[in-house]
């Protein structure tokens, strides 16, 4: 629990028992009715964030949730200095929670398949087949479908109707009528079959059973719920991925001794050692040594940061150069990494869960069907048709409304759409994502790793007169190959790619903050800043000076090369723009989206990259923790914002955006916080992802329409008492076949970038 002001506090409750977005809305409404309480309930993360007055206890809040028909608990907090509780109980607990649902699904599938087969294939209708069907269907309708019945009862107590209500009422009506027909009608007679007659005639229903509808609907919808639940269990994975970025152990200096401790035992003021290639354990100040620090995992920017005594470093970044001694200034929950984890959690909690379309339709459809069934019963009783005929017609109305195709509408389209997406390098997390893709009008693109490659690359070589480019690359590459600096590695890799095997330096010295020097093939070689050459009284010729100025204006790093007392060349190193990024921006504009480039880099670099790919609007020099503020500002302007990123620094912004797209080549934290993952690392996949998601949503909508349309068309026959089992079966089967066929059309989706 967090205290906000002297008169208010905030608590985050883990909510259990929600089955749809309307459940979250109901809990939120109940909590907000309490005096002095403001609550936000998120169905996706199964959490309620509640701000309340000091005179209200957490126990009262939990009691209110429980009185609404759901469970609530306050998440267990981690020990001081440890990672925050993500509220999901960890991956193992998530699997434990899925186990009962998986068991119900397996039971339903194993028992429903033979029931459906016997009902649909006359050759399988052996003597007493109907009693075998009852034996197999009973556990499905009772045990496997119990979550639907429980949710329907909870909804009924609060005067609400959802998909659960429709499933429960339909399957229960079909099962109870089948019981009556078997025990009190003629359906239990040995040798009974369902003849394939499509005649419209009044029947007393005594020979009709609908066990396949009850068992089949339960199995189909349980399958959809299971895969949805698996996706929801990952809600806390972004936080775990963030916390796992940090170093697990740290070498602390105790006098003259080096003591290895868990990072959780590190305290403010402790001095710790960071060797080359190690992660920095926590935020601190350098007190000894100098190095280049690779902060790309947190900031997303590929250019390394040079640090010396007095400089600040951030926990979880990588020491890419020399030995450092750092004094800890922030530890545990106060570090930048922990603050970013909280930003991701806040963004996930604040993101509104999309109301499931099936629940919206069910909220109207269920009361109408129940009302029609009661009206049918009353009409036939009033007309003197008799109790059996009246009850037959009323139950027929409920049975024909049973949502066979509705159970297939979303899962089949999502399965085909996500399967096709996976083939194209696009991963869609769940059905809630699709609704958002239709609304977005602005797409914010992180620069590094999204529009650009995310790694330093040798882009250009400018040589002085009478200097061979291959010789420059051979000598400079050989010297830089001996350095651990990220820029040096870029030069060495570029040189090796162009000239092949590099010679080995006979002598080598690293000059922190300046560059490197050494002897290569008998030449005294200098590679680094112009300042390094000036210390050796070597001036850059005018053409090389101009090239250096132009490189810096474009945001590139200029590296001077000299040997034997003369400046020979200038190398340009930068984060290269991906070849496909400009084409991707064109495709995004064609989808009606306005692209914006967002980066922590300086304005000159950002403008140069934006001009190269065709982006007009640029937001530069943004700190990692401020990216969320940028997204919120754009949303405050009335825009629906999609965000594409790849770094840890993008995770909170991806979660806060209306639609988050993570490059699969990026960090786990970004991928888990996003709604869509682009496995290919190609920005054109973002346009493909939005097009595919929109088409999948359109398919689901048409599926839902026809799923209801076929059943609704038969409702008048049921109300008139003219329904026979073949017409009911045909309506249900045809709607299901149509839904599956319509969904399979998504397999023909093609990428615009191929």
Active-site amino acid positions: 446
3-class DSSP state of 87: coil
CA distance linking residue 450 with residue 686, whole number of Å: 10
- Which one, of 569, 564, 537, 568, lies nearest residue 551 by Cα? 569
Q: What is the DSSP string of 115-138?
A: HHHHHH-GGG--TTHHHHHHHHHH
d(C-alpha 557, C-alpha 551), whole Å: 7
Q: What distance in Å separates the CA atoms of residue 635 and residue 441, rounded to the nearest whole number? A: 11
Q: Give every strand in the sheet of 452-463, ordered side by side.
A: 452-463, 566-577, 557-563, 523-528, 515-520, 507-511
Q: How far is CA 705 from CA 40, 361, 404, 405, in A?
A: 32, 10, 13, 10
Residue (of 135, 170, 687) closest to 403 by Cα position: 170
DSSP character at residue 200: -
Contact assessment for residue 571 and residue 491, using Cβ atoms and an 8 Å cutoff? yes
Integer Cα distance of 364 and 383 in angstroms: 28
Distance of CA 411 to the CA centre of its chain: 18
Beta sheet of 594-598, edge-to-edge order: 426-428, 676-678, 659-663, 641-645, 442-446, 594-598, 617-619
Q: Is 222 helix (H, G, I), strand (E, B) or coil?
A: helix
CA-closest candidate to residue 213, choices 728, 753, 737: 728
The CA–CA distances, whole Å, from 529 to 60, 488, 539, 547, 601 equal: 66, 12, 12, 14, 20
Q: How far is CA 399 from CA 121, 140, 276, 409, 728, in A?
A: 21, 17, 70, 18, 8
Which single residue is written with the structure tokens 């084409």? Answer: 583
DSSP 504: P
d(CA 475, CA 495): 9
Using the structure block, give the residue that is written with the tokens 């088409």.
695
Q: What residues contact 569, with CB distance under 8 A and at least 6 apart?
A: 461, 462, 463, 464, 467, 469, 472, 476, 544, 560, 561
Name the one residue in this structure whose structure tokens are 């204006």: 553
Q: How far apart are CA 522 and CA 505, in angstroms?
A: 9
Burial 108-130 (b: 16+ CB within 10 A, else e): bbebbebbbebbeeeeebeeebb
Map tokens 């073949």 to a residue. Answer: 726
Per-residue 3-state assignment (H helix, E strand, C coil) for 599-652: CCCCHHHHHHHHHHHCCCEEECCCCHHHHHHHHHHHHHCCCCEEEEECCHHHHH
| Complete DSSP assignment for 530-560 | HHHHHHTT-PPPHHHHHHHHHHHHTTPEEEE
| Sign, Cα dihedral of 182, 188, 194, 195 | negative
CA distance 684 to 588: 8
Give CA separation, 450 vs 69, 348, 453, 581, 655, in Å. 45, 22, 7, 8, 17
Q: Contact 380/393 with Cβ under 8 angstroms?
A: yes
In 239-367, which ranges are E strands? 249-254, 257-262, 271-274, 283-288, 291-294, 305-307, 312-313, 318-319, 324-330
Query: Measuring CA to CA, how many Å separate 99 from each of 102, 104, 106, 140, 545?
Result: 5, 9, 10, 17, 67
């Amino acid at each position: 629990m967090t205290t906000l002001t002297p008169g208010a506090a905030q608590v985050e409750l883990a909510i259990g028992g929600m089955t749809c977005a309307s459940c979250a809305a109901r809990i939120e409404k109940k909590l907000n009715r309490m005096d002095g309480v403001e609550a936000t309930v998120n169905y996706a993360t199964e959490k309620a964030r509640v701000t309340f007055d000091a005179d209200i206890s957490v126990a009262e809040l939990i009691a209110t949730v429980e009185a609404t028909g759901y469970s609530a608990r306050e998440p267990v907090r981690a020990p001081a200095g440890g990672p925050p509780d993500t509220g999901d109980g960890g991956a193992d607990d998530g699997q434990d929670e899925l186990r009962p649902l998986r068991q119900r699904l397996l039971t339903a599938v194993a028992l429903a398949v033979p029931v459906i087969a016997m009902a649909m294939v006359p050759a399988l209708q052996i003597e007493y087949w109907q009693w075998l069907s009852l034996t197999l269907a009973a556990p499905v309708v009772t045990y496997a479908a119990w979550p639907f019945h429980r949710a329907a009862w909870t909804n009924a107590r609060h005067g609400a109707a959802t998909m659960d209500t429709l499933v429960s009422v339909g399957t229960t009506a079909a099962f109870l009528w089948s019981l009556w027909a078997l025990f009190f009608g003629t359906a239990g007679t040995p040798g009974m079959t369902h003849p394939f007659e499509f005649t419209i005639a009044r029947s007393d229903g005594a020979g009709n059973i609908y066990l396949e509808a009850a068992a089949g609907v339960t199995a189909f919808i349980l399958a959809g719920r299971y895969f949805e639940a698996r996706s929801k269990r990952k809600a806390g994975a972004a936080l775990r991925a963030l916390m796992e970025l940090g170093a697990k152990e740290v070498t602390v200096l105790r006098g003259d001794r080096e003591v290895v401790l868990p990072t959780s035992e590190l305290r403010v003021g402790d001095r710790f050692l960071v060797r080359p290639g190690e992660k920095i354990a926590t935020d601190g100040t350098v007190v000894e040594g100098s190095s280049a620090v690779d902060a790309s995992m947190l900031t997303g920017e590929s250019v390394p940061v040079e640090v010396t005594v007095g400089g600040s470093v951030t926990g979880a970044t990588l020491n890419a150069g020399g030995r450092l001694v750092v004094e800890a200034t922030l530890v545990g929950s106060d570090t930048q990494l922990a603050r970013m984890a909280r930003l991701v959690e806040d963004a996930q909690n604040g993101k509104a869960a999309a109301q499931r379309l099936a629940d919206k339709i069910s909220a109207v459809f269920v009361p109408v069907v129940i009302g029609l069934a009661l009206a049918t019963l009353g009409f036939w009783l009033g007309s003197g048709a008799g109790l059996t005929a009246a009850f037959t017609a009323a139950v027929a109305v409920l049975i024909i409304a049973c949502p066979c195709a509705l159970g297939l509408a979303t899962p089949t389209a999502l399965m085909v759409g996500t399967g096709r997406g996976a083939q194209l390098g696009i991963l869609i997390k769940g059905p809630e994502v699709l609704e958002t893709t239709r609304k977005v009008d602005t797409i914010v693109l992180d620069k590094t790793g999204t529009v650009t490659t995310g790694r330093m690359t040798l882009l250009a070589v400018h040589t002085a007169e009478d200097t061979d480019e291959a010789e420059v690359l051979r000598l400079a590459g050989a010297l830089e190959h001996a350095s651990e600096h990220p820029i040096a590695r870029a030069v060495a890799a570029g040189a090796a790619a162009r000239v092949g095997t590099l010679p080995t330096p006979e002598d080598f010295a690293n000059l922190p903050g300046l560059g490197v020097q050494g002897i290569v093939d008998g030449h005294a070689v200098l590679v680094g800043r112009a300042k390094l050459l000036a210390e050796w009284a070597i001036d850059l010729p005018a053409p090389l000076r101009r090239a250096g100025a132009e490189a810096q204006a474009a945001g590139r790093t200029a590296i001077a090369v000299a040997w034997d007392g003369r400046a020979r060349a200038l190398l340009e190193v930068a984060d290269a723009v991906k070849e496909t990024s400009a084409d991707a921006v064109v495709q995004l504009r064609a989808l009606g989206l306005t692209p914006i480039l967002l980066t922590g880099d300086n304005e000159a670099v950002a403008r140069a990259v934006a001009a190269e790919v065709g982006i007009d609007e640029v937001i530069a020099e943004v700190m990692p923790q401020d990216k969320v503020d940028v997204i919120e500002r754009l949303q405050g302007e009335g825009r629906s914002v999609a965000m594409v990123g790849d770094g840890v620094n993008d995770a909170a912004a991806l979660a806060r955006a209306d639609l988050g797209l993570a490059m699969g080549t990026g960090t786990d934290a970004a991928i888990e916080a996003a709604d869509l993952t682009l496995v290919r690392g190609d920005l054109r996949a973002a346009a493909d992802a939005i097009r595919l998601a929109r088409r999948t949503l359109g398919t689901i909508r048409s599926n839902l329409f026809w799923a209801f349309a076929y059943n609704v068309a038969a409702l008048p026959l049921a109300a008139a008492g003219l329904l026979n089992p073949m017409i009911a079966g045909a309506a249900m089967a045809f709607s299901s076949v149509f839904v599956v066929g319509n969904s399979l059309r998504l397999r023909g989706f093609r990428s615009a970038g191929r």
